[in-house]
Amino acid sequence: MKKHTIVAMWEEIPDDADDLALVRGGFRTYLCLCGKSLPDRAGAEQHAAETGQCTTCLGTTTEDIVPGYSQKCTACAGTGRRGAQLTWELAYVEAEMTITVQVVRDLISGFTGPFRLSQVADLVRDTLRLPVGRLPVGPRVRDVLRQLEAMGELVLVSAPEQLLRGTTVVLYNDPYWEHVRN
């Protein structure tokens, strides 16, 4: 059986590179261990899907965010497998249906000061009586809070834990938000 782990090698990155294109798989050359040539990110993802591998980490189990910074792939729980990735996606869809924007909005309405992501996730788990580990509560709650932030209801008040590329590609471990006062 051939191995189809796909490795990505960074290319020269110009200072004015598009950060979104960078974190989404640009500025790299992709090569599969089976020898198949993969022209770009889309080709690499397609080959990963065809060979049963996670399309985010391409079977490597780690996700390269910027040169010099990688993290364990969250899309497939660090397994590198497409099956695990699909299971995660289904669980996320279920979390989306269970943890609606309105549910989160109601739960955080009582907070007067800043509150953290983990605090809201715990509250959601307790209120909806969700067993730990069954649904991706943290990632879903994070997405809802970001949505409320984009809608102007919340404001992010914590500084990022790490600046990966200037101030545009940054990492937050457990960010704080606060209600926007009118």
Which residues are at the interface with Zn ion (CB under 5 A)? 4, 32, 34, 36, 54, 56-57, 73, 75-76
The minimum distance between CB 22 and Zn ion, in angstroms, equals: 19
**Cβ nearer to Zn ion, comparing 55 with 125:** 55
**Cβ nearer to Zn ion, comparing 32 with 117:** 32
The minimum distance between CB 82 and Zn ion, in angstroms, equals: 9
**Cβ nearer to Zn ion, comparing 81 with 105:** 81
The minimum distance between CB 164 and Zn ion, in angstroms, equals: 19
**Cβ nearer to Zn ion, comparing 77 with 103:** 77
Q: Are 180 and 152 in contact (CB under 8 A)?
A: yes
Q: Are 120 and 108 in contact (CB under 8 A)?
A: yes
**Cβ nearer to Zn ion, comparing 76 with 144:** 76
Q: At 106, list the tokens.
A: 């109601």
The minimum distance between CB 141 and Zn ion, in angstroms, equals: 21
The minimum distance between CB 114 and Zn ion, in angstroms, equals: 33
The minimum distance between CB 15 and Zn ion, in angstroms, equals: 30
Q: At 140, list the tokens.
A: 């879903």
Rounded to whole angstroms, the Cα distance separating 56 from 76 reads 8
Cβ count within 10 A of residue 85: 24
**Cβ nearer to Zn ion, comparing 22 with 54:** 54
Q: Are 139 and 74 in contact (CB under 8 A)?
A: yes
Rounded to whole angstroms, the Cα distance separating 63 from 39 reads 19
DSSP H helices, the chain, are: 19-23, 41-50, 82-98, 101-108, 117-127, 137-150
Rounded to whole angstroms, the Cα distance separating 32 from 93 reads 31
